[in-house]
Amino acid sequence: MSKNLQDSIIILMKLANEKYFEFKYLGYDCAILYDDIFHNGYVGITKDHPFYGLHYDNIDIDVHGGLTFGEFGDDQHRKMLNDDGEQLYWIGFDCAHAGDFIDDPTLDTFSYRKCNKSPQYIINEIFNMVHQLKSVIPKKE
């Protein structure tokens, strides 16, 4: 079994009990939000990465729908510091674009719509982001 598949299984098992949680992948802090309406993926980067603190429109990452998020962690929605005490800047994407929804009149939501992207799809996109981030040459101190 591949490492990606093992990691995915663990994440999916945790998602069965939680709508949001953070995890590590290849040394990067990652997070997934998956509920009836929102399907978002995030990766935290530290100050040694060239994309740290940049507006998401200025970050060249190929991910579903493009990056739509860039903020420092606040310990309410995404953690502020990594395990080494370094501040995290979170970049992320959402699945709320045209074609991402299906109508579901059984949902009690304002629009009766839900995302058609699976948890595995979101996880794969997060993994994809991490691989792209790792390919960028880090800042020299």
The answer to whether position 141 is within a domain reads no
The answer to whether position 122 is within a domain reads yes
What was the pLDDT predicted at 137? 77
Q: How many domains does the chain have?
A: 1
Tell me if 87 sits within 8 A of 81, measured CB to CB: yes
Residue 1: band (very low, low, confident or very high) from pLDDT cuts 50, 70, 90: very low
The answer to whether position 139 is within a domain reads no
Provide the whole-model pTM: 0.78
Angle at 29 between CA 24 and CA 35, to 5 degrees: 85
The answer to whether position 59 is within a domain reads yes
* Domain, as residue range, for 78: 3-134
The pLDDT tens digits for 56-103 are 999 999 998 889 899 999 887 788 999 999 999 999 998 765 555 555
